[in-house]
A and B are shown apart, each in its own frame.
Chain A
Amino acid sequence: MTKQIIWLHDKALSQNHPVFDNMNEGTKAIYIWDEEFFKKRSYSFKRLVFIYETLCQLQIEIIKGDTIEVLKSFKPEKIITPFTVDTQINNLVERLSKVFLVEIVEEKPFVNIGSGYEFNRFFKYWNKAKNTAFWINANIENE
């Protein structure tokens, strides 16, 4: 049994993602090369090569198979995965959440806007965003 699995998807292919912050000895980091998932997306060959070149530079295992089945085979206590807005990846995350404890980890924010705001035009967002957009790490550490 593996205690926890970091499951990377193709929207967060970086060793610097905060999903790796709690990595310990018992943690396995994997990417699943899921044929059916790629076919549903109609990803072109050039896009797959780009993803594979990126994967080869990460300290992770690349496993071919069905995402849900591969993750089940590890019988993990917890799956940790990066947040994405991608609808099809989120469908997979939803299915996984019915079987496993899934922790979703967000990237560090680009700007510090606070919660409760909704914008439907860019410049309304920008008027708020520009207060922290010109600071290293959006000045969040200094707050």
Chain B
Amino acid sequence: MQILERNFQTRKELIEYVKIIAPWANGEASPIIGGHDEAKNKMQKIDPVNYGKTRNFADGKITKLSPYIHHGVVSLNEVRNCALTRCLEKYPETKHIEKFIQELAWRDFWQRIAKSHPEWIWNDVEEYKTGHNAKDYSPIMPEDILNAKTGSSFIDACINDLVQTGYLHNHVRMYLASYVVHFKKIKWQAGAHWFLEHLLDGDEASNNFSWQWVASTFSNKPYIFNLENADKYFGKFFDTSSKNNIELDVSYEELTKRLFPNIGGVR
């Protein structure tokens, strides 16, 4: 039994110390800083009203509080209370902050499901609604995804963000999950495990049930996207050119035929 150090002069010193006490762990530190102080900084910057209008865009007013919420550094209650205190005087109608509060509620919802059905966390809650059986999906993550060499610039950039920062915009999580499950036909469990390894906010309940939501094993239909959608929301910051994203550059009609040929499209 060894009592570990808690006082460091710099972040660099702390990172070096973690290398000593975790010699098996791969990768580098994220630029995202842990701790309650940083969580408080981020809380002071939340903008619930504009969040509702811009959250789907790469530069939308998202909070990036999820790593802190996942690790219990701040609770859902604290974040909600902060949003209400800040906004309700100026915007007394709750509709202005409904999307923000609803996004917090998604986490609460997944936690409640996991509490009542822990057996669902790693198992298909329902059948795939893609016209394929669960056994049609591979349990192994392919090397081209793990190495960010898929042939799609947009997808590769998203993967690099995941691996380097441990954080992804929620919309990007949906794109990547959809790509893994529907374009590559990989079991959602393999993708969920991959995300949990890297995401600073990797939470078995929120992560796995969201993968199931995309896969359609815990929703009414599979979630799919195409290059036009990626370009609309992320084109300002990522390479969403047609020539570098041929696999994604397809209409929804063609895509549903290609991905779900057994049911003739489900979108």
Contact B1 A52 (CB under 8 A): no
Closest to A118 in B: B116
Contact B75 A16 (CB under 8 A): yes
Contacts of A143 in B (CB 8 A): none
Chain A nearest CB, measured from B226 CB (Å): 25
If A50-B166, A85-B205 touch, whether A13 touches B4 (CB-CB below 8 Å) is: no
- Interface: B41 (CB within 8 A): no
Interface residues on chain B, number (Cβ under 8 Å):
74
Stretch at the interface among B51-59, B78-86, B247-255: B78-86
- Interface: B146 (CB within 8 A): no
If A13-B73, A54-B71 touch, whether A49 touches B15 (CB-CB below 8 Å) is: yes
Contacts of B116 in A (CB 8 A): 118
Chain A 19-52 residues near chain B, CB threshold 8 A? 33, 35, 38-39, 41-52
Contacts of B21 in A (CB 8 A): 33, 64
> In the complex, how many residue pairs between chain A and chain B have their CB atoms under 8 Å apart?
191
Q: Is the interface of B mostly helix, strand, loop or mixed?
A: helix
Closest to A10 in B: B71
- Interface: B157 (CB within 8 A): no
Closest to A140 in B: B77
Chain A nearest CB, measured from B97 CB (Å): 8
If A54-B71, A56-B8 touch, whether A87 touches B27 (CB-CB below 8 Å) is: no
- Interface: A62 (CB within 8 A): yes
Assign chain A's interface to a size class.
35 or more
- Interface: B246 (CB within 8 A): no
Report how far A49 CA is from B166 CA in the complex, Å. 11
- Interface: A17 (CB within 8 A): yes
What sequence of 0s and 1s flags, for each residue 77-104 of chain A, a beta carbon within 8 Å of any chain B beta carbon?
0000010011100100000000000000
Report how far A49 CA is from B36 CA in the complex, Å. 14
Contact B24 A82 (CB under 8 A): no
Closest to A74 in B: B1
Contact B34 A35 (CB under 8 A): no
What are the 6 closest A-B residue pairs judged by CB atoms, nearest first? Answer: A53-B34, A12-B72, A85-B114, A50-B34, A46-B30, A45-B25
A-B contact list, 19 entries, CB within 8 Å = A11-B70, A13-B72, A16-B78, A17-B72, A35-B24, A38-B24, A49-B34, A50-B200, A56-B7, A58-B36, A63-B4, A85-B114, A85-B118, A107-B76, A110-B75, A110-B76, A110-B105, A111-B108, A137-B77
